[in-house]
Amino acid sequence: METKRENRHTISKFISIWLHRVTLIALAITFVLLIGGRFAPANAARPNAELKIQDLTTCYALGTDAIGSGNVLEGKNIYRDCFTDNAVITAIFPDDTRVTLIGTDAWADFVASVFQGNGYQATQHLIGTINISVKGNQAKMSSYLHATHKLSDTSIDVANGTYEDEVVRVNGRWKIKNRTLKLITFLNLSSPPTTRLDQRRPWHRR
């Protein structure tokens, strides 16, 4: 009888310890889920916001290149997706000449006048080294620019600089409120025209 009592006591003690451990594990899992549910959305929202903000500088490049191809109306429509209605846009050239305009239509007309005035046939704006800082419904973004402006098959103008942006969230959408382009170079690169004796492209030469 004594042995049976000891066995029952041992089993009861084992079950009690097991239930205690299961309870602790369940509480720990519940705590993690509650904490995760509280903080995960905020942490997840940050990289999502940064991706949407980064899209804005790509949006601007596409709009500018649409204008560079001669389609000013398309460029204006694209710009409206990137900027607030009263956005302030400034360009500072290497000689410290400054141009500031309010509104994307005014800026698009200015860009078109520059491109047409210089006789550009096409443009290509490459954006890189993008740095974004988000604080609530506002953000700051900087990005590097390398832009090619085609004059002919043997001549291009190349611009390099930095965009500095102030971005805001309006009705759930991120848009650029202020954009400043600081150009550090604006150079012409040309190569001599090919002669009749050398019409093949360089990579075809033997």
* Domains of the chain: residue spans and CATH: 40-190 (3.10.450.50)
Residue 96's alpha-carbon distances to 93, 110, 111, 183, in angstroms, are: 5, 18, 18, 9
Pair 150, 123: CB distance under 8 Å: yes
Single pTM value for the model:
0.72
- Structural tokens at position 30: 């519940």
- Per-residue pLDDT 10s for the chain (206 aa) are 555 555 555 556 555 655 555 455 555 555 445 455 454 444 445 578 999 999 999 999 999 999 999 999 999 999 999 999 999 999 999 999 999 999 999 999 999 999 999 999 999 999 999 999 999 999 999 999 999 999 999 999 999 999 999 999 999 999 999 999 999 999 999 988 665 555 555 544 44
Residue 70's alpha-carbon distances to 35, 45, 73, 156, 158, in angstroms, are: 54, 38, 9, 17, 19
